[in-house]
């Protein structure tokens, strides 16, 4: 029993079987169903790389996670708690108790409260929204802190690392200028994350699952024939946790 995130040349997993590089795979958790474990690689690795590789999150620091009830967000809350950070999140009031259970110390209802009223001097911010939320997040991050976005446009540096050259890198430089300029003005480290497969990191996540410190939250399960319906549900933005498509 293994789980994996497929590499960039094999993106997409709506299939009964898939070939995967051994270095991208890990043994599946023994404490949860294999189907539920499929929710771990993409979102779990995204949260891990955002918080620990790019954000350098450590115990005692302040973490803000946007959309903490979402697919990536609910893993980030649990990982932040495990690391010993002070965890804040934005979420709707209906998801408040869920976020507190997952590890948030405080939940900011984005429908009634601007997070700037609560948050100041954050050490690490995980942006899952992009746009104005990203710029506002940079504004409440301390100098030397880290803002990681998985929702904005890729930066030219990330594009070049993926083998993209001009003129697309020039276009990305123009499109991402507002957030890069805002971060530079405040002395904030801004990162765009495009998650990569990593079997060793995935094994770390699996060990946390089996230790009872991390758990995928499953919102809905769809049969493979209803994959389009599953995608429409996710696109509507109301999922709490992960949505599974099961062959």
- pLDDT tens column, 19-43: 899 999 999 999 999 999 999 999 9
3-state secondary structure of 17: coil
Choose among 123, 129, 138: nearest CA to 110.
Answer: 129
CA dist 158 and 32 (Å) reads 35
**For 197-216, what is the mean pLDDT?**
98
Q: Are 110 and 94 in contact (CB under 8 A)?
A: no
Identify the CA nearest to 102 among candidates 147, 140, 71, 148.
Answer: 71
Confidence of residue 8 (pLDDT cuts 50, 70, 90): confident
Average pLDDT of the chain, as a whole number? 96
What is the CATH class of 2-246? alpha beta
Give, for 72, the enclosing helix (H) or strand (E).
helix 71-83
Write down the domain spans for the chain. 2-246
pLDDT, residue 7, reads 83
Determine the average pLDDT of the residues in 49-56. 99
Please indicate whether residue 164 or residue 45 has the higher confidence score (pLDDT).
45
234 near 212, Cβ under 8 Å? no
Decide if 235 contacts 98 (C-beta within 8 A).
no
């Amino acid at each position: 029993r293994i789980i994996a995130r497929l590499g960039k040349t094999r993106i997409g997993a709506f299939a009964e079987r898939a070939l995967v590089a051994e270095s991208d795979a890990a043994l599946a958790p023994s404490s949860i169903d294999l189907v539920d474990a499929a929710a771990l690689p993409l979102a779990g690795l995204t949260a891990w790389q955002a918080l620990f590789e790019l954000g350098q999150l450590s115990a005692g620091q302040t973490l803000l996670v946007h959309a903490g009830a979402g697919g990536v967000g609910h893993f980030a809350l649990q990982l932040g708690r495990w690391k010993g950070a002070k965890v804040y999140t934005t979420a709707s009031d209906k998801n408040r108790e869920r976020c507190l259970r997952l590890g948030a110390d405080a939940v900011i209802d984005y429908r009634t409260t601007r997070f700037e009223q609560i948050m100041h001097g954050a050490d690490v911010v995980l942006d899952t929204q992009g746009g104005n939320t990203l710029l506002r997040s940079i504004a409440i991050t301390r100098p030397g802190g880290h803002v990681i976005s998985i929702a904005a446009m890729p930066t030219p540096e990330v594009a070049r690392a993926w083998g993209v050259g001009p003129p697309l890198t020039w276009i990305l430089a123009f499109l991402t200028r507002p957030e890069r300029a805002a971060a530079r003005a405040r002395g904030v480290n801004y990162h765009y994350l495009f998650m990569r497969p990593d079997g060793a990191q995935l094994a770390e996540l699996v060990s946390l699952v089996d230790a009872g410190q991390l758990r995928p939250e499953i919102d809905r399960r769809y049969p493979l024939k209803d994959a389009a319906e599953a995608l429409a549900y996710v696109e509507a933005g109301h999922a709490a946790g992960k949505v599974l498509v099961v062959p």
